[in-house]
């Protein structure tokens, strides 16, 4: 069973309370056993025309979905934005790790603490890349739209097996590339999935992931307002998002 399908089996039903699709981030708010929770995902934009087919065919009716129905949209391939909604819904519904299981701090710190004199491969663009280059032995960055000095995503089967540490954007769950990326990592590598799209759930440990570096929404309403007004991650972080890392127990 694939990673997303395994996550779907972990979910309670839940009631959908609110959905926000911003230009950078998507948020879903659910009600589970009287508790209001918010999950995030990167907004995956596909090609569109103002007069063309809608990117969200069910726009205006998504809150009528059950929690599990909305989460199943994470499997969507025809409408990329719906996959973002599905992943955000999964992140809202998943039973969270307890605070005593968290390591406080952001992904940059987690990578740097383990990456001195190591070859780090980073899949995805992050604002900390210039700083991280000075804190690790070697940094190889891969992206679908590479900048100068970076590698195209197609180089993953060549670069990732060589890396001591592999850090993969949680967006790879939204665009359905994560499992293929994990398959080409060295069995000796330390593997991390990072970013607000990352499900903080031990299911990912079963696919070879060692560290989950994600986000917990602590102030739902300010975060929703910021997302609705086009906020980037720095802004929603300031609005009320906590950065946490969870490590697989028993990792060699």
- Domain boundaries defined on the chain: 3-93, 99-216+240-247
Q: What are the CA-CA distances from residue 252 to residues 2, 109, 120, 249 (Å)?
A: 25, 20, 18, 9
Contact 71, 8 (CB under 8 A): yes
Residue 46 DSSP code: P
pLDDT of residue 249: 83
Fold of the CATH domain 99-216+240-247: Rossmann fold (3.40.50)
**Could you check whether 3-93 and 99-216+240-247 share the same CATH topology?**
no
Confidence at residue 51, expressed as pLDDT on a 0 to 100 scale: 60
The per-residue pLDDT for 102 is 83
Q: What is the pLDDT of residue 1?
A: 83
pLDDT value for 57: 79
Question: For residue 203, what pLDDT is reported?
Answer: 96
Q: Mind listing the pLDDT tens digit for each residue in 9-36?
A: 999 989 999 999 999 999 999 999 999 9
Counting as low any pLDDT under 70, the low residues of the chain are 46-52, 250-252
pLDDT for 55? 81
Q: What are phi and psi of 89, to 5 degrees?
A: -65, -40
* Alpha carbons 54 and 56: distance in angstroms, whole number: 5
pLDDT digits (tens, 9 = 90+) for 48-72: 666 667 788 788 889 999 999 999 9
- The pLDDT assigned to 52 comes to 64
Q: What pLDDT shows up at residue 107?
A: 92
Burial of 112 by CB count in 10 Å (0-12 exposed, 13-18 middle, 19+ buried)? middle
Is domain 3-93 annotated with CATH 1.10.3720.10?
A: no
Cβ neighbour number for residue 63 with a 10 Å cutoff: 14
Q: Helices in the chain by DSSP H: which ranges?
A: 3-9, 67-71, 80-93, 107-115, 129-133, 156-159, 171-174, 178-183, 220-228, 233-240
Cα–Cα–Cα angle for 230, 233, 236, nearest 5°? 75
């Amino acid at each position: 069973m694939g990673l997303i399908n395994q996550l779907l089996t972990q979910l309670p039903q839940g009631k959908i309370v609110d959905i926000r699709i911003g230009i950078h981030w998507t948020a879903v708010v659910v009600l589970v056993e009287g508790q209001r929770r918010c999950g995030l995902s990167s907004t995956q934009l596909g090609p569109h025309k103002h007069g063309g087919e809608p990117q969200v065919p069910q726009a205006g009716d998504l809150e009528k979905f059950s929690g599990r129905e909305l989460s199943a949209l994470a499997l969507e391939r025809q409408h990329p934005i719906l996959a973002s909604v599905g992943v955000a819904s999964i992140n809202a519904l998943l039973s969270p790790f307890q605070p005593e299981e968290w390591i406080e701090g952001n992904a940059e710190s987690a990578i740097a603490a383990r990456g001195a004199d190591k070859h780090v491969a980073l899949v995805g663009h992050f604002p900390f890349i210039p700083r991280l280059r000075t804190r690790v032995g070697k940094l190889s960055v891969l992206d679908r739209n590479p900048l100068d000095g970076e590698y195209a995503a197609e180089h993953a089967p060549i670069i990732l097996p060589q890396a001591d540490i592999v850090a993969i954007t949680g967006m790879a769950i939204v665009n359905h590339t994560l499992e293929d990326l994990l398959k080409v990592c060295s069995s000796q590598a330390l593997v991390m999935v990072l970013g607000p799209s990352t499900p903080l759930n031990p299911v990912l440990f079963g696919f070879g992931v060692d560290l989950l570096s994600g986000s917990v929404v602590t102030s739902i309403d300010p975060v929703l307002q910021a997302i609705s007004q086009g906020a980037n991650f720095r802004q929603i972080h300031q609005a009320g998002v906590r950065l946490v890392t969870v490590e697989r127990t028993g990792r060699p």
